Every structure is written in C-alpha cells, then in structure tokens.
Structure 1
Amino acid sequence: MRTGILALVAGLLTLRFLPALPPLWLLALLPVAGLMLLPYRSYPIALFLFGFTWSCVSAQWALDDRLAPSLDGRTLWLQGRVVGLPEVGEGVVRFELQRAVSRRGVLPDRLRLSWYDGPALQAGETWRLAVRLKRPHGLVNPQAFDYEAWLLAQHIGATGTVKTGELVYPSSGSGAWRDRLRQHLLATPAHGRAGALTALVLGDGSGLSTADWQVLQATGTVHLMVISGQHIGLLATLLYGLVAGLARLGLWPRRWPWLPCACVSAFSGALAYGLLAGFEVPVQRACVMVGLVLLWRWRFRHLGVGLPVLLALLAVLLLEPLASLQPGFWLSFGAVLLLILIFSGRLGVWPWWGTLLRAQWAMAIGLLPLLLALGLPVSASGPLANLVAVPVVGLLVVPLALLGTLLLPLPGVGAVLLGVAGWLLNLLFVLLTQLALWLPAWLPSALPFSTWLLVALGALVLLLPAALPVRSLGVLMLLPLLFTAQPRPEYGRAEVWMLDVGQGLAVLVRTEGRDLLYDAGPRFGEFDTGERVVLPSLRALDVRGIDLLLLSHADNDHAGGAGAITRGLPVGRVLSGEPDKLARSLSAEVCSRKDWQWDGVHFSTWQWAGATDGNQASCVLRIEANGERLWLTGDIDSEAERALLDSDLAMPAQWLLAPHHGSRSSSSAALLAEVKPAAVLISRGAHNAFGHPHAEVLARYRALDARVHDTVLHGAVRIRLGAFEPAQGLREHARFWREK
C-alpha cells in the first residue's frame, strides 16, 4: 500500500520540476499505458503515470485559464464579484475578482487587481470596472520570489490596474460577514496589534506593517502570523485535550464515548477555524492533515504514524496538484516528517521543556536543506525565537483571540480578551525585534547541487539517534556552507548582471576581487526592489560587499533601492550624478571624469557638465575587459549623447545599455553610428506607462542588426565581458509556468 501511495505522490510531485508540459496527445496515452501495466504487477509505475498525468492536466487547465494574448495590456470594462478580503496599503486597494465577464472576450475565472486611491471595497460586492489587464508576469532574478508560479498556484489568470468603477450590488455572503468582522477586530484597542490579531483570526495579514514582516522573517516566525497547519493543529489539539482531560477526571458523560467525541470536536473546531480564515489552499491542506491524523487516532493506530502523513500528502496533491509550486507546501510537510523522525521510535520520556528544545533543534537543522533549495533566508535566531513564540502564540494568543472574537457580542468581555491577546503580541514583537537586531537572517549564496546534497545528508545524519557514532560526521558535512563561494571571473575579465527590477535599473559588475553596483532599482511605496530583489540576488551571487555603488542620478527608478543596499551590505564608496539630491546617509560623492583599473578590467566615468536636468546629469560608465566594451548610460538623452560623442571617452563597444530604457528622446542615430553595438540591453517594466522601449528606437537597433536583450522578455541578463560570448537570460531556464 505504501509503495503505491509513494509512486502516486512521486508522479504528482514531478510536475514541480518540469521545464514544459507534455503535449496533450502524450497525456492521453500515459493513462492507457498505466492501465496496460496493471496486470503485470507493475502497479507502482502505473500509479506514477496516473499521478503525473493528473498533475499535468491540472496545470494545463490553469495555464489555459490565463488572459488571452490579444487582451494583454488592453483596458476593458468588466463586471465581477470581489472575493477574499481586500488589502489596503499606502493608498492602494488590492483585491481579487471572480467570474468577471466582459463583452470584449472571455476572461480568466480569477483576477488580481490594484486600485490606486480606490474606494473602500468589501468582500462579496459586485463591481463594474474599467481595468487595464495583463497576463501573469513576474521578475526573474538569481534569487527572488517567483510571482508567476504563485499566481498559477492561486489560479489567478490575469492581473490589472483599475481606472474607474461603479458598485453594482452590495456585499453579501460569508465574505461580507468576514469583512465586517475584520473591521470590528481592527477597531479593537489591542496595544497597536489589531493587525496581528486579524492575521491570526482571519488569515488577513494586510494589517501588519513591512517592518513587522521583516522582523518575522529575520526570526523565522513568519509561520506564526499566517494561519497554517500549526494553528489549525494546535486548536484541534486543545479541543481534543479538553475532552480527553474531562474523561480522565471522570467529568465526561459515560454514555458518550470520549475518543470519537474528542476526534469529532477537534476536527469540527479545525474546520470552523479554517472557514473563519477563508479556507484558502494552505488552510485546506491543514484541515486535511488534521482530519486524517484524527481518523488514524480513532480507528487506525495499528497502521503506524507514517501512513496518515502519506495519505494527507496524497489527498492535498490530488485536490490541488499545483500546491507543489508553493514553498509553504514543502516546508509544512517537511516539518511534519521531521517531527516524526525525531519523536518516533525513541526510548524514554522527555520533560516538556526537552520536547520543545528537541523540536526546535529538529526544525533548525532539518529544514536547512529545504530553505537552501527554495532560496529562502535562514534565521540564525529562529530556534530561540520559536522556542518562546510558538507556545505564546499557540497556547495563549490564538485561544484568547478566538475566544475574544466569539464573545465580541458581549459588551466588554470580547474586547478585554482581545486586549490581553494584543498585549501579549506586543511583548512578543518587542522581543523578536531585539532578536532580529542581534542575529539577523542569513541568505546564503546559491549552492552547487553536489554541495547541497552533502549539506542535506549532513542534516539527516545530525538528526539520527544520539547513540549512533556517525552523528559527529554531520557537522563536518555542514561545513561547506561556510566555505563554498561562487566562482569569480578570472583576471582581466568581468561578469555583468543586468537584474530584472521592472521599470528601473540595477547592474552588477564583478571582477576577480571587486564588486560594483550601477544603480539600485526603484522603490514603489512599501515595495523596495533594492530590498526584495537586488539584495537577495547579490547575496545569491555571493556578493559580500560593494566596493563602489554608482547611482547614475537621483531618480527613484535608479536610486530608490540604494538605502536597502547600504543597510544590507558593506559599501565602500558611493558616486552619483546628483549626490545633493540623495539621502545624506548615503554620503555620495559627485561623479567626474575618472579612469581606473580593477583586476585588469578598465573603468571610466563621465558626466555632462552642461546638464540641465537629472537625466542629462546621469553618470555614464564605460567598462572594458580583454578588449570587449560595455557602456552603461543611465538616462542621458540625445543632447547628452552628443556631448558624450564630443568627449575623449567616445569609442565603439560591443554592448550598450539603451539610454533612458529605450525612450524616444535617446539612442540617437549619431550615438549608434559611433558606438556600433552588437547587442543592446534594455531594463524596463512590462506594460510600463512610458511606452519604453519606443518603436522608433527598436527600429534603429534592428537596422544595426544588434541583438536586443530585454528584461521583460529575458529576465535578468548575464554577460561574461571579455569572453566575447552571447548573453544569457534567466528566462531561458525553462519553467512551464513562465511566459516565453
């Protein structure tokens, strides 16, 4: 039985690693082949094929539900119903619309929309909206959140920006009730932690600030503020323990068997909590797991503890094969399997404090390989933070918050309980903030597969029973984490990364022993690409410090992320074309005409003395490695380009960063005639409001027969300067969910 389940699960999980989905004719043949294998006792292979086929068919359905290419970037009038709880932050309302209809064409079943300066929306309302729709698209970098995979796993077929709209029908249904409850919770005095209480009760994290999320990530406690298997499981455990305790004390009615009552009560409580939280996919997964564990406890304990976990894993993947695209899926099941490994079949009884210490030890060591594989930060303070936070949140805050919510109709009673829960949360956040400052999170560089495999084996060895003599080898097997470094360019060569930061610019230049960052990406409200995209990518590439941060000028799309870079990494010097317009904390120096050499690579800077605006004042950088040249031009326009051509710096180059993202006012014919680039780099956002790159500019590049590398089409772009090789875009690393 277990062999068959493992084969079926393996087939379902294979989807996560596919570069492309098989053709439909092959998917139609695979189940037939599986049925033909069954009579020959090859049922594991048959079950693998069944699981693989079902996961691929589900993924294809989700891909087919994406916005049609003909509607991409167009503004349409549509009508649909708001589902889930709308999020409000810095004047932007973000929400999801379901079953939207339009006269212009068939729309995906689910849309994720943003409404700048929009009205207060409520779940369950029906709106008629003018929306500029876009196909799912995300940034692709060496280390970043995969937004396209997340959208597909959520079955969101398009994103968009609302231009205007009108309410058609008021809110109704369970969504409206949850929205009203959220307003009550947010209005409750809770020592400034009403947003955290809302996250714990309703699964709505929009009330938590960016600083709160940063503290939670740094201390490895994000899972505490996101309703997950832990919260559902703890509530079920409390209800089960309540009935079991009453039965042990002789206070439970004898005519009602306590064990089935305890299991039914626990599952009912878990299900009610899940419905209160919106019953999203992670909550569904948690309820399935709790239900199977309770069923095992009631009827099938003789089958062992591993089988219910396997069945839960199978049930989750059969219901939603795309769950494997989300990191939370791997971490939640990984944590459960680790606890089984630690606590099953061990001799002796541990005190409660020993159990907590052992559980945190298991999580810290056992989840390390998963965190490395998923590209997530490793929290150095996580074991200590969770040792305190897990019992506080699970045993005190969540029960008080749920009981307080239930008793809100009673004047004063519910508010007092919520106030106590908020006070506890406030104390907890104060402690977590200090831990985050003391031991910040560590984001290691990307590891080769062989090194990762060694680390994974080392973690497994460390988790083996203490009596085994080989455990000490586990420490040695983890040491490569401290000494493994990404290969650097050889002397006289440079590695250049144009990162995918949307409508902005960030270019990393690496020599044998130095690192230069040209611009730092934009910041849009709370979304700082310097913090969310550039910094994780630099750490993934094993950049441990920036020798020179060169900010071409002070515009937000070029310098918005600079603060996050200087806070996250040591920075030697900062140069800029507009140092006076940057934050004083950057201590930027003015760009001037300079030449220098790092590790056999030549650098030259230039700025137009006659500049009249920030774009013209951009600091231009020329790089030459082994005779191959690259121009980084900031946002200079055609007038500044003429001045550059009149300088002593002008000369042909193989690579040119399109000035001003390919705007019509730049990339003049005179510049292209002088530089004669063989390839052009364009950093821009998809469907940007400026129309970059302009069609006339692209036509001029095509006339030169220059290759165009566009971050929208290619993601982050890597150049081995000095090797005279074509550039590589990260979108070339195929994933079935990514736009080509």
Structure 2
Amino acid sequence: MRTGMLGLAAGLLALGFLPALPPAWWLWPMGILALMMLPFRTHPVAFFLFGLAWACTCAQWALDDRLASRLDGQTRWLEGRVVGLPESGTGVVRFEVQDAQARRDRLPRRMRLSWRDGPQVRSGERWRLAVTLRRPAGLLNLQGFDYEAWLLARRIGATGTIKDGQLLAAARGAWRDGLRQRLLAVEAHGRAGGLAALVMGDGSGLAREDWQLLQDTGTVHLMVISGQHISLLAGVVYLAVAGLARHGAWPERWPWLPWACALAFLAALGYGLLAGFDVPVQRSCVMVALVLLWRLRFRHLGTWWPLLLALDAVLLFEPLASLQPGFWLSFAAVAILVFTFAGRLGTWRWWQSWSRAQWLVAIGLLPSLLALGLPISLSGPVANLLAVPWISFLVLPPALLGCLLLPVPYLGEGMLWLAGGLLDGLFRWLEVVARWSPAWMAPLLPWWLWVLSCLGAGLLLLPAGTPLRIFGWPLLLLVAWPPPQRVPYGQAEVWQLDVGQGLSFILRTRERAMLYDAGARSGDFDLGERVVVPTLHRLAIRQLDLMLLSHADNDHAGGALAVQRALPVHLVRSGEPRELPAALQATPCESGVSWQWDGVRFSQWQWAQARDGNQASCVLLVEANGERLLLTGDIDVQAERAFLDSPLGVPVHWLQAPHHGSRTSSSRALLQRLAPGAVLISRGRGNAYGHPHPQVVARYRRQGVIIYDSAEQGALKLQLGAFSKPYSVREQRRFWRAPPAMP
C-alpha cells in the first residue's frame, strides 16, 4: 500500500513540471487504465497514472475557467459578492469577487480586483462594478515570483481594475472581517497588523519593512497561519486533557484519549476557520487530523506514514497546491524533522534538540530555497531559536484569548495590548539580527551544482558518526562560491527585464556591469526592489560600475533608490540629474563621452536642445565585436532627427524601441538610417497608453524588423557580439503560461 501511496504522490506532484497538459481525450483513458491495473502487481503505476490524470483534469478545469480572450481589456458591468478579507494600502483596495455575473458574458467563478482611491469594501458585501477585465498574467523574469502560477493555484480566473461601482447589499455573516476591524482598532503598541496576521492569516496590515525584516531573519513562517501554529493549539488542547486525566480531574466515564484527539482536532479546525481555511490552512488541518488518527488507532505505523497520507490527501483535495512554494517548504520542513529525530539512538537534552532542529531545518531546506529562487536567511537558525518559542508561547496565546474575549470590556483589549507589546519587543530584536546578517540571494546555479548541494545537505542530516558525513560541508558550501560564468572577452551579456510599463536593462562584460534604467515605483510596489535587485543577485552581480538613468520619469528611474540601497553603485549618471532624488548623487549625461570595458565600447549622446524629460533621455550605443545595440530611453521624433545628425547615427543590429513604441517615436527616417534587424519593446500588457502604437508596429514590419515584446516574451537575454538569437524566459514552458509569441 505504501508503494501505491508513493506512486499517487508522484503522479500528483508531476503536474507542476509539465510543459503542457496532455490532451483532454488522454485523461479519461488514463484514469480507466489506472483502475484496470489496480488488481495486479503494477498498482504503483496505476496509482501514479490516477494521480496524474486527476491533477491534469483539475488543472484543465482551472484553465478553462479563465477569462475569455475576447474579453481581455474590455470594460464590463458585473455583479458579485466579495469573499475573503479585502486589502487596503497605498490608496488601492484589493479584494476578490466570487460568482460574478455580467449581462451577456460568462465570467470566471473567482476574480481579483483592485480599486484605486476606492471606498471601504467589506467581506460579504454585494457590489455592482464597472471593471476593466484582464486575463491572468504577470511579470516574467529570471526565476522570479510567478504571479500567473499564484493566481492559478488560487483558482483566480481574471484580474481587473474597477472604474466605478455601487453597493447593492450590505455584508451578511462576514464575522471574520468584523473581527479583523475590531482587532486592527485595538491599541497594541502599533502591532495590531502583526496580530491580525498571527490570528487571522491577514498579512495586509504588515508594512513592507516588516516583511523585509521577517525575510532577512528567516521568520516569515511565524507571521502566517502555518502548521506550527495550528499544531501548537491542537497540542495544547491534547496535553490539557491528558494532564487532567493523569491527575484524576477528567471524568472517568469519558475515555480521555478519544476526547483528547477529538477536542484537539476541533481546536485546530476552529483556528483554521478563523484564518479563512485557505490551502495552507487546509493542509495543516489535514496533517493534524492524520497525526491524531495515527495516535488513536494506528500507532504501529511509524512516523512517515501519516506524512505521506497527509501529502496525498492535500493534493487530492487541491492538486494545484503544488504550484505554490509554501507547499514544498512546509512538507520539506516536516520531512526533515521526521528524518532527524525519528529512530535515533540515545537521547538529546531539550536545548540540544531545539538548537539542532533549527540548524538542520535550515540546512535541509537550502536546496529547496535554491530551486525556488527564494532568499536564504543566514541568521534564520539563530533568530528562530528565540522567535519560535516567543511567538508560540508568549504572543499567540494572549492574542487568541484577546480575540475571544473582545466582547468583555477591557479584558480582551488588555490581552491584545500585552500580545502587541511582546510582538513589538520581538521585532526590535529581529532588527538587530537583520542588521547583522540580511537575507542572501544565491546566484543561478548549474543543475549539477544543485545536485551536489542536495547531496551535501543529505549527508549533513545523517546521524553523527556516519561515514563521509563530513564531506557534506564542502558540497553544501559550493553554492556560496560557484564557479564563475564569465562573459567572453569582447562580448556583452544584455538582459531586458520585464518591468511592465517601464524600462530596465542589465549589461555586463567580462569584469564590469552597468544598469540602464531601473523600472518604476508605485507606492510600496518597487520594481527596483522586486525585479531588478533579485535579477542582479541571480546573475552574481554584487556591484554596479555605472547606473545610467535615461531621464527622471518614474517608469525609468523609480526603482533606482532601491538598487542603490541593495548593492554598491560606483557612479550614477542621468539625462535629468537635477530631477532625481539627491541621495542618488547623479551626474549629468554628456554627449561625446565614450569608454571601453573588456573590449566592448560604450558611447552616450543627449540632445542639447531638449525641451522636456523625454527629449533629454541619455542615449547609449553599445558595440561588441561589430554587433551594435542602441538604447534610446524615451526620445521622440524631434530628438531622433537630432540624433541622426550625430556621429552615433549609424546602422545597428538591435534597437530599443523609443518611448515604448509610442506614436511620437520610431520615425521612418530613424528606421531607414539605423536599419535595425530587431527591435526590443518594453511595455506593460494592456497599458493605458496603447503602447506600442499599431502604426509604429506596422512601420517596423514594413521595414522587415523582428519585434521582441516584453509583454509577450518576458525578460530577454541577448549575447551581444555573438550574433546569436536572443533567449526568452517564456521559453521555459509551463502549462499555465502561453507559449512565447513568434517574432
């Protein structure tokens, strides 16, 4: 049976690695074949086929529930009910609507909407809304956060921006939202948002700086409803009943073990309902239920059997859960603890067990964090030594009791005030730890080096005294000093990042690196911090010799400060240095300035008669081994005419579309003189400006120019000087992504 359960888990987990789903007419025969094979000895294969068929069927249902292509970008009036907990911040209200109806169109069952400067929205309300609808899509960069996969895992079939709306019906039965509002109104030393995250799984009340602090110290798992919190509550209830029974205070006519297991599960389930019962909470409740069942009836089955059953149960209930990084990290952490403590000879003292658990989990999760492209907290084991018991035993109990006792005057608020003070003290200590050692982003690793890191972590998890265990350290530490992947002399590696309606290029030669523009910043959403900096780290770029900001518009320079805070920048240069923040200390761009790095030549130009920021864009010509790339910023037709009169107005192979392909740029004269073989367009999907303009696209096509569009291909890598075809991140096929458009 265990081999069958392993086969089932393998089939369910295979979904996340499929480049495309099998045709629908394959799935039913696959399931029927699995059922026919069950009576024979090939049952592991049968379970695998059944798991794969079920996972693919569920994924296809979710894909079929996406917004129809003909409605993408259309504005429709719809009516729907608000579900979940709405998020408010930086002037934007975000919430999810379920079972929305439009007059003539079929809409997805669940949609995620945003409303700039919108009114307060409460869970359970029914609204009539004018929404500009979008198919699920997101920025696609080098091993970055996959927003499209996140939406699919939550079965969100469309996103949208609200233009207008009116409330049709007040909230009914929205007790969670009401409790959150009361909780956030409590004076808790400024940590009411953190208490809401602990009690209700609502992290919208935490500031961006708080999340960064938690990430740097490896304590993010403490501020979300995780298996640890739910298991802790269930364990407290179980131990309370067991303690009463041991001291004779439990009624003898009630067998204590069944009651302890039942009450513990009810406590876990109640906490899960309070937290919204999302997929992570469902997973935790299933695992608690199986552990309690194992304790009650199947104590002889060992420790791995409940974990395997929990894995299969969660994936059978929601196969798309495997698309979320938290799924892998939570099950991996539990598996590491089971492997570390189960079946060991001898005993450890409590403080030895506690400290070793933190270090071994950190070591065991390292390969998973590398594969998922997530930051690695070097201070995490130290921070968690104090943070885990502090949250579990000091903060969480009064926070839960405070919520339960809120109807009692002063008592509930007092408990929450105490929990908030304790949480504030923890955050102050975490700030000290984060300054000592912030999170580290590992560079991209070749597959063989990742395999060696898995081997090293596996060796270190073995018991002390195991032969060859000492070799785990050098194998694991290879990830910190991987063999350098150097750019050939005379060539330049160029990355056009997918930053939506903005611009950002990374250029590096054999020994040097520079950034041309840094994307936009809107409120707390900083593309310099979210996209540019992580990509620089993954490319093993630890410092920038030059950050060249074409001009001061937000979509080009908004992320510059985040870049400067994250890594050393030797020189900042811009076409509009006075319009930039003083902290950047930018120097002006000057025409005629050129330099050479590792056999690659860079030349810059700026129109002296520029009348606005776009015309003042600093233009950069890069030449490597005879292959040329021209980065133009946002220059318009008049600036293009002046540029053609300069010494840099020579034929190029690659052209960054001026002003994102706007109608006021990319003149016929520019294209005829430069004769580019390909154009690189950086823009946001469905942007409000209509970029690129259809007339400009037609002009490119008439000239025979190949078009590479960031909204269609994601981030793009170009090996300048090799005269080779560029690489698109979207070429890494996943079944939830549309294939890259053929240029």
TM-score normalised by L of structure 1: 0.99
> Offset of 1:362 from its aligned partner?
1.4
User: Structure 1 residue 686 and structure 2 residue 680: aligned?
Assistant: no
| Contact 2:143-2:372 at 8 Å conserved across structures | no
Identity %: 63
Q: How does 1:47-86 map to 2 (within 5 A)?
A: 47-86=47-86
* Residues 137-177 of structure 1, C-alpha deviations (whole Å, 9 max, x = no match): 0111113110000000000000000000001111012xx11
Match in the other structure for 2:486: 488
Match in the other structure for 1:283: 281
> Offset of 1:489 from its aligned partner?
1.6
Match in the other structure for 2:7: 7
| Contact 1:444-1:540 at 8 Å conserved across structures | yes
> Offset of 1:485 from its aligned partner?
4.2
| Contact 2:442-2:480 at 8 Å conserved across structures | no
> Offset of 1:637 from its aligned partner?
0.5
SS state at 1:642 partner: helix
Match in the other structure for 1:642: 641
| Contact 1:13-1:324 at 8 Å conserved across structures | yes
Which of residues 246, 249, 265 is equivalent to 2:247?
Answer: 249
> Offset of 1:543 from its aligned partner?
1.2
Match in the other structure for 2:414: 416
For 1:14 and 1:100, the matched residues in 2 are separated by 32
* Residues 618-662 of structure 1, C-alpha deviations (whole Å, 9 max, x = no match): 000000011110000000000100110111111000100000000
* Residues 689-713 of structure 1, C-alpha deviations (whole Å, 9 max, x = no match): 1110000100110001111000000
Match in the other structure for 1:476: 474
What one-letter code is carried by the residue in structure 2 that aligns with 1:250?
Answer: G
Q: How does 1:524-673 map to 2 (within 5 A)?
A: 524-593=522-591, 594-673=593-672
| Contact 1:75-1:133 at 8 Å conserved across structures | yes
For 1:272 and 1:479, the matched residues in 2 are separated by 43
Q: How does 1:313-352 map to 2 (within 5 A)?
A: 313-352=311-350
Q: How does 1:452-463 map to 2 (within 5 A)?
A: 452-463=450-461
| Contact 2:78-2:131 at 8 Å conserved across structures | yes
> Offset of 1:599 from its aligned partner?
0.5
* Residues 257-280 of structure 1, C-alpha deviations (whole Å, 9 max, x = no match): 111111111100000000011111
| Contact 1:485-1:542 at 8 Å conserved across structures | no
Match in the other structure for 2:441: 443
What one-letter code is carried by the residue in structure 2 that aligns with 1:186?
Answer: L
| Contact 2:494-2:719 at 8 Å conserved across structures | yes
Match in the other structure for 1:707: 706
* Residues 560-608 of structure 1, C-alpha deviations (whole Å, 9 max, x = no match): 1111111111111111001111111111110012111100011000000
* Residues 356-408 of structure 1, C-alpha deviations (whole Å, 9 max, x = no match): 10110111101101000100000011001111111011112111111111111
| Contact 1:78-1:131 at 8 Å conserved across structures | yes
Task: Between 146-155 and 34-43, report the one with greater CA deviation.
Answer: 34-43
Match in the other structure for 2:137: 137
For 1:460 and 1:14, the matched residues in 2 are separated by 23
SS state at 2:357 partner: helix
Change (3 A) 1:485 1:614: farther
Q: How does 1:201-350 map to 2 (within 5 A)?
A: 201-350=199-348
For 2:87 and 2:484, the matched residues in 1 are separated by 40
For 1:242 and 1:348, the matched residues in 2 are separated by 28
> Offset of 1:486 from its aligned partner?
4.9
User: Structure 1 residue 122 and structure 2 residue 147: aligned?
Assistant: no
What one-letter code is carried by the residue in structure 2 that aligns with 1:738?
Answer: R
| Contact 2:72-2:134 at 8 Å conserved across structures | yes
SS state at 1:688 partner: coil
| Contact 1:445-1:486 at 8 Å conserved across structures | no
What one-letter code is carried by the residue in structure 1 that aligns with 2:644?
Answer: L
For 1:663 and 1:628, the matched residues in 2 are separated by 26
> Offset of 1:423 from its aligned partner?
0.3
SS state at 2:545 partner: strand
> Offset of 1:552 from its aligned partner?
0.4
Match in the other structure for 1:151: 151
For 1:116 and 1:48, the matched residues in 2 are separated by 47
What one-letter code is carried by the residue in structure 2 that aligns with 1:432?
Answer: L
Runs of 5+ unmatched residues, structure 1? none
> Offset of 1:36 from its aligned partner?
3.9
For 1:10 and 1:599, the matched residues in 2 are separated by 48
| Contact 1:142-1:541 at 8 Å conserved across structures | no
> Offset of 1:256 from its aligned partner?
1.5
For 2:486 and 2:231, the matched residues in 1 are separated by 47
> Offset of 1:39 from its aligned partner?
4.4
| Contact 1:186-1:194 at 8 Å conserved across structures | yes
For 1:179 and 1:79, the matched residues in 2 are separated by 20
| Contact 1:486-1:541 at 8 Å conserved across structures | no
Match in the other structure for 1:107: 107
| Contact 2:552-2:577 at 8 Å conserved across structures | yes
For 1:352 and 1:161, the matched residues in 2 are separated by 53
SS state at 1:399 partner: helix
Match in the other structure for 2:520: 522
> Offset of 1:125 from its aligned partner?
0.3
> Offset of 1:35 from its aligned partner?
3.4
Match in the other structure for 1:389: 387
Runs of 4+ off more than 4 Å = none
What one-letter code is carried by the residue in structure 1 that aligns with 2:686?
Answer: H
For 2:704 and 2:30, the matched residues in 1 are separated by 45
SS state at 1:367 partner: helix
For 1:447 and 1:439, the matched residues in 2 are separated by 22
What one-letter code is carried by the residue in structure 2 that aligns with 1:685?
Answer: G
What one-letter code is carried by the residue in structure 2 that aligns with 1:58?
Answer: C
SS state at 1:614 partner: coil
| Contact 2:126-2:171 at 8 Å conserved across structures | yes
What one-letter code is carried by the residue in structure 2 that aligns with 1:73?
Answer: G
For 1:409 and 1:486, the matched residues in 2 are separated by 62
User: Structure 1 residue 371 and structure 2 residue 369: aligned?
Assistant: yes
What one-letter code is carried by the residue in structure 1 that aligns with 2:595?
Answer: W
> Offset of 1:739 from its aligned partner?
2.6
For 2:280 and 2:313, the matched residues in 1 are separated by 13
For 2:735 and 2:480, the matched residues in 1 are separated by 34
Match in the other structure for 1:357: 355
SS state at 2:571 partner: strand
| Contact 1:603-1:624 at 8 Å conserved across structures | yes
User: Structure 1 residue 186 and structure 2 residue 184: aligned?
Assistant: yes
> Offset of 1:484 from its aligned partner?
0.7
For 1:467 and 1:250, the matched residues in 2 are separated by 45
> Offset of 1:351 from its aligned partner?
2.4
For 1:35 and 1:91, the matched residues in 2 are separated by 54
TM-score normalised by L of structure 2: 0.98
